[in-house]
Structure 1
Amino acid sequence: MVKINEYLESGILESYVLGSASKAEIEELLALKSSHPQVEEALAILEADLERIAEHMAIAPPPNTWAKIEANMNELVKTPPKMEYLIGDEPVERSRPNSRSGRSEQFIEVEGESGHMRIRKIWRWVFAAVFVLGKIFLAFAIYYYLENKHTQEEIQQLKLEMRSMRK
Protein backbone atom coordinates (compact mmCIF):
# COMPACT_ATOMS: atom_id res chain seq x y z
CA MET A 1 0.00 0.00 0.00
CA VAL A 2 2.77 2.43 0.85
CA LYS A 3 4.33 1.83 -2.54
CA ILE A 4 1.08 2.70 -4.35
CA ASN A 5 0.63 5.92 -2.35
CA GLU A 6 4.22 6.93 -3.11
CA TYR A 7 3.64 6.11 -6.78
CA LEU A 8 0.46 8.22 -6.84
CA GLU A 9 2.35 11.18 -5.33
CA SER A 10 5.41 10.80 -7.59
CA GLY A 11 3.94 12.89 -10.44
CA ILE A 12 3.92 10.12 -13.02
CA LEU A 13 0.12 10.25 -13.28
CA GLU A 14 0.24 13.97 -14.02
CA SER A 15 2.92 13.52 -16.67
CA TYR A 16 0.84 10.72 -18.25
CA VAL A 17 -2.30 12.87 -18.36
CA LEU A 18 -0.34 15.78 -19.86
CA GLY A 19 1.30 13.47 -22.43
CA SER A 20 4.88 13.96 -21.27
CA ALA A 21 5.47 10.50 -19.77
CA SER A 22 8.13 8.25 -21.24
CA LYS A 23 7.29 4.92 -22.84
CA ALA A 24 8.56 2.97 -19.81
CA GLU A 25 6.48 5.13 -17.44
CA ILE A 26 3.38 4.57 -19.57
CA GLU A 27 3.87 0.81 -19.58
CA GLU A 28 4.41 0.77 -15.82
CA LEU A 29 1.31 2.93 -15.24
CA LEU A 30 -0.92 0.75 -17.42
CA ALA A 31 0.30 -2.38 -15.60
CA LEU A 32 -0.39 -0.82 -12.19
CA LYS A 33 -3.74 0.53 -13.40
CA SER A 34 -4.99 -2.94 -14.27
CA SER A 35 -3.94 -4.41 -10.91
CA HIS A 36 -4.67 -1.49 -8.51
CA PRO A 37 -8.04 0.31 -8.52
CA GLN A 38 -6.53 3.28 -6.60
CA VAL A 39 -4.32 4.10 -9.60
CA GLU A 40 -7.29 3.90 -11.97
CA GLU A 41 -9.38 6.12 -9.69
CA ALA A 42 -6.61 8.73 -9.28
CA LEU A 43 -6.08 8.74 -13.05
CA ALA A 44 -9.81 9.30 -13.67
CA ILE A 45 -9.84 12.18 -11.16
CA LEU A 46 -6.81 13.82 -12.82
CA GLU A 47 -8.34 13.48 -16.27
CA ALA A 48 -11.63 15.01 -15.06
CA ASP A 49 -9.74 17.89 -13.39
CA LEU A 50 -7.76 18.56 -16.55
CA GLU A 51 -10.96 18.51 -18.60
CA ARG A 52 -12.61 21.02 -16.25
CA ILE A 53 -9.57 23.30 -16.46
CA ALA A 54 -9.63 23.09 -20.26
CA GLU A 55 -13.35 23.89 -20.37
CA HIS A 56 -12.90 26.81 -17.98
CA MET A 57 -10.00 28.32 -19.94
CA ALA A 58 -11.39 27.58 -23.42
CA ILE A 59 -11.96 30.45 -25.79
CA ALA A 60 -15.03 30.17 -27.99
CA PRO A 61 -14.31 30.44 -31.73
CA PRO A 62 -16.04 33.11 -33.80
CA PRO A 63 -19.64 32.20 -34.67
CA ASN A 64 -19.03 31.70 -38.41
CA THR A 65 -16.04 29.36 -38.01
CA TRP A 66 -18.01 26.14 -38.28
CA ALA A 67 -19.76 27.38 -41.42
CA LYS A 68 -16.39 28.13 -43.06
CA ILE A 69 -15.01 24.71 -42.12
CA GLU A 70 -18.13 22.99 -43.42
CA ALA A 71 -18.00 24.95 -46.70
CA ASN A 72 -14.33 24.01 -47.19
CA MET A 73 -15.10 20.36 -46.47
CA ASN A 74 -18.02 20.38 -48.92
CA GLU A 75 -15.80 21.95 -51.56
CA LEU A 76 -13.16 19.25 -51.04
CA VAL A 77 -15.78 16.56 -51.43
CA LYS A 78 -17.11 18.10 -54.65
CA THR A 79 -13.66 18.58 -56.21
CA PRO A 80 -12.67 15.57 -58.31
CA PRO A 81 -9.22 14.16 -57.63
CA LYS A 82 -6.46 15.43 -59.89
CA MET A 83 -5.17 12.84 -62.31
CA GLU A 84 -1.49 12.56 -63.06
CA TYR A 85 -0.04 10.82 -66.06
CA LEU A 86 3.10 8.88 -65.47
CA ILE A 87 5.42 7.42 -68.12
CA GLY A 88 2.74 4.91 -69.11
CA ASP A 89 -0.64 5.83 -70.57
CA GLU A 90 -2.65 4.99 -67.45
CA PRO A 91 -3.82 7.91 -65.27
CA VAL A 92 -3.00 7.73 -61.57
CA GLU A 93 -5.03 9.51 -58.89
CA ARG A 94 -2.96 11.84 -56.73
CA SER A 95 -3.35 10.79 -53.14
CA ARG A 96 -4.51 13.32 -50.61
CA PRO A 97 -2.97 13.34 -47.13
CA ASN A 98 -4.86 10.87 -44.99
CA SER A 99 -4.60 11.06 -41.22
CA ARG A 100 -6.18 7.63 -40.75
CA SER A 101 -3.52 5.83 -42.71
CA GLY A 102 -0.77 7.86 -41.05
CA ARG A 103 0.49 9.16 -44.39
CA SER A 104 0.96 12.82 -45.00
CA GLU A 105 2.81 14.71 -47.67
CA GLN A 106 5.53 16.97 -46.44
CA PHE A 107 5.28 19.48 -49.31
CA ILE A 108 2.43 20.89 -51.33
CA GLU A 109 3.00 20.96 -55.07
CA VAL A 110 2.15 24.23 -56.74
CA GLU A 111 1.84 24.17 -60.51
CA GLY A 112 0.99 27.09 -62.74
CA GLU A 113 -0.54 26.92 -66.19
CA SER A 114 2.49 28.60 -67.73
CA GLY A 115 5.88 29.87 -66.74
CA HIS A 116 4.96 33.47 -67.57
CA MET A 117 3.95 36.10 -65.08
CA ARG A 118 0.43 37.43 -65.26
CA ILE A 119 -0.02 41.14 -64.86
CA ARG A 120 -3.08 43.35 -65.11
CA LYS A 121 -3.68 45.19 -68.37
CA ILE A 122 -3.08 48.62 -66.87
CA TRP A 123 0.39 47.59 -65.79
CA ARG A 124 1.18 46.37 -69.32
CA TRP A 125 0.52 49.90 -70.60
CA VAL A 126 2.53 51.41 -67.77
CA PHE A 127 5.49 49.14 -68.53
CA ALA A 128 5.20 49.92 -72.24
CA ALA A 129 5.10 53.68 -71.53
CA VAL A 130 8.13 53.45 -69.24
CA PHE A 131 10.01 51.48 -71.91
CA VAL A 132 9.16 54.00 -74.64
CA LEU A 133 10.03 56.95 -72.38
CA GLY A 134 13.31 55.29 -71.52
CA LYS A 135 14.18 55.03 -75.23
CA ILE A 136 13.20 58.68 -75.79
CA PHE A 137 15.35 59.85 -72.86
CA LEU A 138 18.22 57.73 -74.14
CA ALA A 139 17.94 59.36 -77.58
CA PHE A 140 17.91 62.85 -75.98
CA ALA A 141 20.89 61.95 -73.80
CA ILE A 142 22.90 60.81 -76.84
CA TYR A 143 21.85 63.91 -78.82
CA TYR A 144 22.86 66.33 -76.05
CA TYR A 145 26.09 64.43 -75.44
CA LEU A 146 27.05 64.81 -79.09
CA GLU A 147 25.98 68.49 -79.08
CA ASN A 148 28.04 69.09 -75.93
CA LYS A 149 31.04 67.37 -77.50
CA HIS A 150 30.67 69.45 -80.68
CA THR A 151 30.35 72.66 -78.61
CA GLN A 152 33.45 71.75 -76.56
CA GLU A 153 35.42 71.27 -79.81
CA GLU A 154 34.23 74.69 -81.08
CA ILE A 155 35.28 76.29 -77.78
CA GLN A 156 38.72 74.68 -78.08
CA GLN A 157 39.07 76.01 -81.64
CA LEU A 158 38.01 79.50 -80.55
CA LYS A 159 40.55 79.41 -77.68
CA LEU A 160 43.29 78.41 -80.11
CA GLU A 161 42.31 81.24 -82.47
CA MET A 162 42.34 83.76 -79.63
CA ARG A 163 45.78 82.61 -78.49
CA SER A 164 47.11 82.84 -82.02
CA MET A 165 45.70 86.37 -82.34
CA ARG A 166 47.33 87.52 -79.11
CA LYS A 167 50.72 86.37 -80.17
Structure 2
Amino acid sequence: MADRLTQLQDAVDNLLDLMIDSINYNQDKHPHAPITGQPVLEAPAPPGAAPKTNGDADAKKEAGDADAPKPETPEAFEAMQREMAKKIVLQEQQAEIITNSLPGLGSSEAKQMRRLAELKIELEDVQRERDEAEKGREFVLSMLTEALVGIKRVP
Protein backbone atom coordinates (compact mmCIF):
# COMPACT_ATOMS: atom_id res chain seq x y z
CA MET A 1 0.00 0.00 0.00
CA ALA A 2 1.39 3.34 -0.98
CA ASP A 3 1.83 6.08 1.57
CA ARG A 4 -0.71 8.90 1.75
CA LEU A 5 1.42 11.43 -0.11
CA THR A 6 1.81 9.05 -3.05
CA GLN A 7 -1.92 8.37 -2.99
CA LEU A 8 -2.58 12.10 -2.99
CA GLN A 9 -0.20 12.65 -5.92
CA ASP A 10 -1.93 9.86 -7.86
CA ALA A 11 -5.34 11.35 -7.11
CA VAL A 12 -4.22 14.81 -8.27
CA ASP A 13 -2.69 13.30 -11.43
CA ASN A 14 -5.95 11.49 -12.18
CA LEU A 15 -7.91 14.68 -11.54
CA LEU A 16 -5.73 16.62 -13.97
CA ASP A 17 -6.06 13.86 -16.58
CA LEU A 18 -9.85 14.02 -16.28
CA MET A 19 -9.79 17.80 -16.63
CA ILE A 20 -7.58 17.64 -19.73
CA ASP A 21 -9.82 14.96 -21.25
CA SER A 22 -12.90 17.09 -20.64
CA ILE A 23 -11.27 20.18 -22.18
CA ASN A 24 -10.24 18.17 -25.25
CA TYR A 25 -13.72 16.69 -25.54
CA ASN A 26 -15.36 20.12 -25.27
CA GLN A 27 -12.99 21.51 -27.87
CA ASP A 28 -13.41 18.64 -30.35
CA LYS A 29 -17.05 17.64 -29.97
CA HIS A 30 -18.99 20.79 -29.14
CA PRO A 31 -22.05 21.32 -31.35
CA HIS A 32 -21.86 24.31 -33.63
CA ALA A 33 -24.01 27.22 -32.52
CA PRO A 34 -25.85 29.28 -35.08
CA ILE A 35 -24.56 32.83 -35.48
CA THR A 36 -27.28 35.43 -35.78
CA GLY A 37 -27.31 37.15 -39.14
CA GLN A 38 -25.23 34.39 -40.79
CA PRO A 39 -26.52 31.66 -43.11
CA VAL A 40 -26.53 28.10 -41.75
CA LEU A 41 -24.10 25.89 -43.65
CA GLU A 42 -25.14 22.43 -44.67
CA ALA A 43 -23.59 19.46 -42.91
CA PRO A 44 -20.28 18.30 -44.42
CA ALA A 45 -20.47 15.44 -46.92
CA PRO A 46 -19.66 12.00 -45.50
CA PRO A 47 -16.11 10.74 -46.13
CA GLY A 48 -15.73 9.04 -49.48
CA ALA A 49 -18.43 11.11 -51.14
CA ALA A 50 -17.59 12.49 -54.57
CA PRO A 51 -16.23 16.04 -54.46
CA LYS A 52 -18.57 18.74 -55.73
CA THR A 53 -15.86 20.56 -57.67
CA ASN A 54 -13.25 19.52 -60.18
CA GLY A 55 -10.34 21.38 -58.59
CA ASP A 56 -7.58 19.41 -56.84
CA ALA A 57 -7.23 22.01 -54.09
CA ASP A 58 -10.92 21.76 -53.21
CA ALA A 59 -10.76 17.96 -53.11
CA LYS A 60 -7.77 18.09 -50.75
CA LYS A 61 -9.56 20.61 -48.55
CA GLU A 62 -12.64 18.40 -48.30
CA ALA A 63 -10.47 15.37 -47.50
CA GLY A 64 -8.84 17.38 -44.69
CA ASP A 65 -12.25 18.37 -43.35
CA ALA A 66 -13.22 14.68 -43.19
CA ASP A 67 -10.41 14.12 -40.68
CA ALA A 68 -11.82 16.75 -38.32
CA PRO A 69 -13.94 15.36 -35.48
CA LYS A 70 -17.65 15.63 -36.02
CA PRO A 71 -19.68 17.50 -33.43
CA GLU A 72 -22.12 15.54 -31.34
CA THR A 73 -25.77 16.28 -30.93
CA PRO A 74 -26.50 18.80 -28.18
CA GLU A 75 -28.17 16.09 -26.07
CA ALA A 76 -25.25 13.65 -26.33
CA PHE A 77 -22.77 16.46 -25.73
CA GLU A 78 -24.58 17.60 -22.58
CA ALA A 79 -24.90 14.03 -21.28
CA MET A 80 -21.17 13.46 -21.76
CA GLN A 81 -20.36 16.76 -20.04
CA ARG A 82 -22.45 15.72 -17.04
CA GLU A 83 -20.69 12.35 -16.90
CA MET A 84 -17.25 13.98 -17.05
CA ALA A 85 -18.26 16.51 -14.39
CA LYS A 86 -19.34 13.67 -12.07
CA LYS A 87 -16.00 11.92 -12.56
CA ILE A 88 -14.09 15.13 -11.83
CA VAL A 89 -16.12 15.79 -8.67
CA LEU A 90 -15.62 12.21 -7.41
CA GLN A 91 -11.88 12.40 -8.05
CA GLU A 92 -11.68 15.76 -6.26
CA GLN A 93 -13.53 14.30 -3.27
CA GLN A 94 -11.12 11.37 -3.16
CA ALA A 95 -8.17 13.78 -3.16
CA GLU A 96 -9.84 15.81 -0.41
CA ILE A 97 -10.34 12.71 1.77
CA ILE A 98 -6.66 11.84 1.41
CA THR A 99 -5.67 15.44 2.15
CA ASN A 100 -7.80 15.48 5.31
CA SER A 101 -6.09 12.31 6.53
CA LEU A 102 -2.68 14.02 6.44
CA PRO A 103 -1.37 15.59 9.64
CA GLY A 104 -1.64 19.31 9.35
CA LEU A 105 -2.53 22.45 11.22
CA GLY A 106 -4.84 20.55 13.57
CA SER A 107 -1.98 18.27 14.58
CA SER A 108 0.77 19.98 16.55
CA GLU A 109 4.38 18.88 16.48
CA ALA A 110 4.11 17.68 20.09
CA LYS A 111 1.10 15.54 19.21
CA GLN A 112 2.94 14.04 16.25
CA MET A 113 5.99 13.32 18.43
CA ARG A 114 3.75 11.58 21.01
CA ARG A 115 2.26 9.47 18.22
CA LEU A 116 5.75 8.55 16.99
CA ALA A 117 6.74 7.54 20.54
CA GLU A 118 3.61 5.36 20.80
CA LEU A 119 4.41 3.73 17.48
CA LYS A 120 8.01 3.13 18.59
CA ILE A 121 6.81 1.38 21.77
CA GLU A 122 4.37 -0.69 19.73
CA LEU A 123 7.16 -1.64 17.33
CA GLU A 124 9.41 -2.69 20.22
CA ASP A 125 6.62 -4.89 21.64
CA VAL A 126 6.09 -6.56 18.28
CA GLN A 127 9.85 -7.07 17.90
CA ARG A 128 9.99 -8.74 21.36
CA GLU A 129 7.13 -11.07 20.36
CA ARG A 130 8.96 -11.89 17.14
CA ASP A 131 12.20 -12.64 19.03
CA GLU A 132 10.31 -14.96 21.43
CA ALA A 133 8.67 -16.73 18.50
CA GLU A 134 12.10 -17.13 16.86
CA LYS A 135 13.49 -18.69 20.06
CA GLY A 136 10.52 -21.04 20.19
CA ARG A 137 11.06 -22.00 16.55
CA GLU A 138 14.75 -22.71 17.20
CA PHE A 139 13.83 -24.84 20.25
CA VAL A 140 11.27 -26.86 18.29
CA LEU A 141 13.74 -27.28 15.42
CA SER A 142 16.46 -28.58 17.77
CA MET A 143 13.98 -30.99 19.41
CA LEU A 144 12.86 -32.25 16.01
CA THR A 145 16.47 -32.67 14.89
CA GLU A 146 17.29 -34.67 18.04
CA ALA A 147 14.22 -36.84 17.51
CA LEU A 148 15.16 -37.55 13.90
CA VAL A 149 18.75 -38.36 14.86
CA GLY A 150 17.46 -40.65 17.61
CA ILE A 151 15.20 -42.46 15.13
CA LYS A 152 18.13 -43.02 12.76
CA ARG A 153 20.21 -44.68 15.51
CA VAL A 154 17.57 -47.26 16.36
CA PRO A 155 18.58 -50.60 14.75
TM surpasses 0.5: no
Structure number with the bigger relative contact order (C-alpha 8 A, sep ≥ 6) is 2
The structure with the largest helix share of the pair is 2
TM-score, normalising length from structure 2?
A: 0.28
Q: Which has the larger radius of gyration?
A: 1
